[in-house]
Structure 1
Amino acid sequence: MWCLRVLAVKLTGRKTLINISKPASLLRPSNFQANCFCSRSVDDICFRPRHMSSEAKRLRSEKMTGKKIGTHNGSFHCDEVLACFFLRQLPEYKDAEIVRTRDPVQLAECDVVVDVGGEFDPKKHRYDHHQRTFSETFHSLCPEKTWVTKLSSAGLVYLHFGHQLLSQLTQLKEGDRQLEVLYDKLYENFVEEVDAIDNGISQYDGEARYAISSTLSARVGHLNPRWNSKSQDTEEGFKKAIKMVGEEFLDRLDFYQSSWLPARVVVEEAIEQRHQVLDYLMFTSLR
């Protein structure tokens, strides 16, 4: 004889344990195998989450893929946070581990390195902008583009991976005219600001009338530990920063794709048809 503890729920919503005693032969299914039961409790079976958390899945995937994104440890800034977010949206780096270190040995093991290492070499996927010899802009690397703001790691990653990134996020094909319009719009109205602030480039000449302290870069900076905080660990803040910049970028992309771009198409069509309207008005006025 053995007891099976069955969890029942009354109509009142309160849980009650009921003991049912039956011969083991009656409780055992006809196709029962001795090794198919485990010693878990009813609570374990009924209420333990059946799926791993997203963080656990990500960590397991990181181990499986083995891809690594390298950036520096310590205080973080908006440019490398945004660069890491961009890379994580690509299929090849979706589950990549972000290694935050300044150790050259560890960085050498990374598949892509941003904002650290003193090297800019797209063929090796090295995207640092701190070396004295670095002065690249969008225009210098892509002469057809007009922006001359010095690039940070965010701009470098966007320049080299931006079309693939936007294609992945919008389902537009690379080479699509609309995707190119979004590519330009998002650099000019989102990424370039991050480049300029990180490189210390002022938005204007002369003295400012007032200070702006609520930019995306400023809010990322505020996620770093304060100087007098008991813990100076930056890992948790870095994760929050990636989530924040990611949400803002995706929100901006959604606005430009679903609202701004359709409005732009309407205006373009109206401009193209303006001669037809003028011809019609001239014709009706002569009647």
Structure 2
Amino acid sequence: MLDWSRPPGCSSGCADTSLPSDHPGYARAMAMSAPLALDDWGGTGPVLHLAHANGFPPGTYRKLIELLKPRYHVVTVRNRWLVPGTDPLEVQTWDDVAGDLIQALEAQGLEGVVGVGHSLGGVATLLAAARQPRLFRAVVALDPVLLTGRLLLAVRGLSLLGIRGWIPPASQARRRRERWSSREEAAEKLRGKPLFQRFDPECFQDYIASGLTSTPEGDFRLTIPRAWEARMFETSPRDAWRSLRSLSVPTLMVRGGDSDVFFPEALERVRRTVPGVRTEELPNTAHLFPLEQPEECGRRILSFLESTHTR
């Protein structure tokens, strides 16, 4: 059995902890210095790392994970937003999330990992593979957040003005309800919301189980604090396209046919920017299709990996 416990140090890519303690960047450097733990979901075969979407803990993907385990040993990074006491300001860009993934894999001496990521997790995995291709044998990005056109220009403009908190997903995340008296109340309130209406029933129950955490007061709160969720929306990449040009490992990108995040224009730009990447669309699904149609999602992942002889 592999030991996924939190290691005491890291190899390459660690933050600079040689800064004096009174330096403005000292606290962030210390926070970013130690590799994050890997959680082991079991399975048989090569190691497969699954990176989740913003706001949805790894447990939400249990059904997809179970479909992958007969052929792969699945692990997930215990990201900063899952570690109590962490500060959302530790992360400045999604490149930091990619760096966390690189450090976690390197700390365990892992190379040739299969990287699967959804949304934020898809972008972080793509960035990590572009920076350290030796760590990955193949990558599957599920509806990654790759912006183009006016939306990309708007995000860049808000960044230059220092007001990225005005981005609607970030402002909405700050206002969302964070606590419920019971899981049953949360399920009743959330099930009818548009975000969850297409969810596979098991995936919805897995979200209620893993997306909420009991508190000492006896109620339940979001496992991923809304401050962290908002921060990740604020720090979405202004331009990941430059990094994608360095992508050299076998890669599949899948777009949900009705996605409001990974638009057809972005898919076409992927085909122009990285011609070697395989692209597919999953009809009648939205951005959260890994949680809407986990069986079909798993089938496509396994089919691609089989075609690349990733065993």
* Pairwise TM-score range, normalised by the shorter structure: under 0.3
TM-score (norm 2): 0.23
Larger radius of gyration: 1
Answer 1 or 2: which has greater strand percent: 2
